[in-house]
Amino acid sequence: MSSPLDSVTVLLAGLATGNNCLTTLEKLRLLLVSVSTQELKDYIPKIDVDRLFTCLTTTNREQIRLTCEILSLILGSLPRGQALTKYEDLYLQGLAHPDNQVKNLILHQIQMVAGDATVAHQLSSCSELLLSCLRLVGFDESSIACDAKRIFGSLSNQGDAATVLLSPPVISEMRVIATKSDTIRYRVYEIVVAIGSTSNDMLLSIDETGFLNPLLEDVDSSDIIIQLNALELLTVLMSDKHGRGYLIQKRIIEKLSDKLSQSVSDILASLIVPGLLKFLGTFAYHQPEMLSEYSAFTNTLFNLIQDSDLSLQIVAIETISFISTEEQGKRALHNILGNRMEVVMKKMGSLMNNSNSEVRLKVVHAVAEMFHIPVNQLEDEELLAIVEEWSTMLNPKPIQLITNLMKQPFNEMRLELLTVLLNLSPQPWAQKQMSFQPGLIEFLLDRGAEPNKECTECKFRIVEKLVECNKESKFGDIWTPSVIAQLKGHAQEGPWFIRAQASVAFESGP
């Protein structure tokens, strides 16, 4: 039985870079998109891909666009890795093509191989192709450079296949392109950090190449942009335990902790301090004990909460909130900052009451994170006590504060406030305050009061949480039987239940 794709051979045979080339390519494109994926896969071995690549030897951008679209359909239908093996020479030509459309096509195909653990080893054996991709990391067009860089980031995660990135030819090419400019140098550093982040052995190997030392030195650069870029990459490196160990060994944490305390009085503090706080805050998130080991950081973090610069106050609050996301962070802040947390929480309460909408939103989001306790830790009495203490430091009546702020017509703020209420709702003391808050239950049971789907669903989860807690009879007699019955009925009906309205038809008299 003949296939529509039998016409492909005829079209390819007549394909030439003449006046009818565009018409032929368009017919070919329409033919390829008209068949099923399986039909195309079965027919691909009969397609002369080399002939299609010759259509790229033109300056006609429309011809190049059509050819790239056709090649994308064909190459994308081949098993990953097969096209790489079969058309490596054509890929090399494509990467050297003057038109970025062609480079994008080939880089996309190579990226799919680099990101697939089952075939990535094939790419690791194509040394010339890898070097061509690496040269494009130094390309002027940032979109091309980023696509090329992404290939190395993906390949760095592919186990044994990633060792090719430490080979002398690759390291040598990295050195060459890194000299072109600071922008390109930092693209290379991104690859270096991606390699070092995969394992301790890879980190030690990449350290031996000498690439990391200049990156570590850049945290002292006189150029603020370079400093911030260095901090951003080192923050990525510390996401893994071996990376944090390396940075401790190099005394970078100590150096940056001291640098933070000195930078606060710098005229450029608003530029560099957020980057330092993000770096050190990320470290403290992973290893909360550092709050006691690096007092310069802890003291500066606390002092920034009281700073006259509102932007620095917010960054400090967000840093504390991030550290407190996990239970060990909550314990560390409670035990190490101690009474100073009262100053922090009162400042947050004040900003929630007396700031513009943008600041309020950031602070309320921080509060929501700080008050969150995972379901599997709700039996931890110490964690519950910490959150209760912080809540009452925020405001003696936190539930009342939240419900009062909810009256503001600001959708994002409303969702964050509902999230705070949801995070507090499993706690007995919070439910007790909720039971005394006038109109709160009516508000929770009103499905029509919310401005969007997210707020409606969050409010419904609060009701579900109240029902769940009282189902287990953990909270004694906080709620009356009538209220519990209403909550249970609401939870059973779901967030989108609409009660039918009875209607009576009146007929006019004779």
**pLDDT tens-digit profile of 424-447?**
999 989 999 999 999 999 999 988
Whether 19 has a pLDDT exceeding 70, the answer reads no
Of the listed ranges 45-49, 199-203, 213-217, 281-285, the one predicted with least confidence: 45-49
| DSSP 8-state code for residue 161 | G
User: Of the candidates 130, 45, 42, which has an alpha carbon nearest to the alpha carbon of residue 88?
Assistant: 130
Whether 468 has a pLDDT exceeding 50, the answer reads yes
pLDDT of residue 506: 47
The mean of the pLDDT values for the chain is: 89
Q: Are 60 and 99 in contact (CB under 8 A)?
A: no
Taking the CA atoms of 377, 382, 385 and 389 in sequence, report the sign of the dihedral they define: negative
Tell me which amino acid residue 211 is. Answer: F
The arithmetic mean of pLDDT across residues 28-42, rounded, is: 84
Question: CA–CA distance from 396 to each of 30, 212, 319, 462 (Å)?
Answer: 69, 50, 24, 21
Question: CA–CA distance from 262 to each of 34, 199, 297 (Å)?
Answer: 66, 34, 10
Q: Is 314 helix (H, G, I), strand (E, B) or coil?
A: helix
pLDDT of residue 509: 47
Of the listed ranges 301-310, 409-418, 455-464, the one predicted with least confidence: 409-418
Neighbours of 472 (CB within 10 A): 7
For 87, the enclosing helix (H) or strand (E) is none
pLDDT, tens only, 379-396: 899 999 999 999 999 999
User: Of the candidates 246, 265, 360, which has an alpha carbon nearest to the alpha carbon of residue 303?
Assistant: 265
Integer Cα distance of 353 and 293 in angstroms = 34
* Radius of gyration of the chain from its Cα atoms, rounded to whole angstroms: 31
User: Of the candidates 66, 134, 141, which has an alpha carbon nearest to the alpha carbon of residue 100?
Assistant: 141
Rounded to 5 degrees, φ, ψ at 158 are: -105, 40
The arithmetic mean of pLDDT across residues 363-378, rounded, is: 93
Whether 227 has a pLDDT exceeding 80, the answer reads yes
| pTM, entire model | 0.86
For 436, the enclosing helix (H) or strand (E) is helix 428-436
- Name 488's Cβ contacts closer than 8 Å, sequence gap at least 6: 467
Q: Is 234 helix (H, G, I), strand (E, B) or coil?
A: helix
Tokens of 372: 């969150």
Q: Are 377 and 327 in contact (CB under 8 A)?
A: yes
Integer Cα distance of 44 and 35 in angstroms = 12
Tell me which amino acid residue 446 is. Answer: D
Alpha helices in 125-223 (DSSP H): 127-137, 142-155, 168-178, 182-196, 200-208, 212-217
**pLDDT tier at 78, thresholds 50, 70, 90:** confident
Of the listed ranges 164-178, 208-222, 264-278, the one predicted with least confidence: 264-278
Whether 503 has a pLDDT exceeding 70, the answer reads no
CA angle 30, 35, 38 (to 5 degrees): 140
Whether 510 has a pLDDT exceeding 60, the answer reads no
**pLDDT tier at 476, thresholds 50, 70, 90:** low
Of the listed ranges 47-51, 116-120, 483-487, the one predicted with least confidence: 47-51
The arithmetic mean of pLDDT across residues 50-62, rounded, is: 90
The tokens 């009062």 sit on which residue?
A: 404
Integer Cα distance of 360 and 80 in angstroms = 50
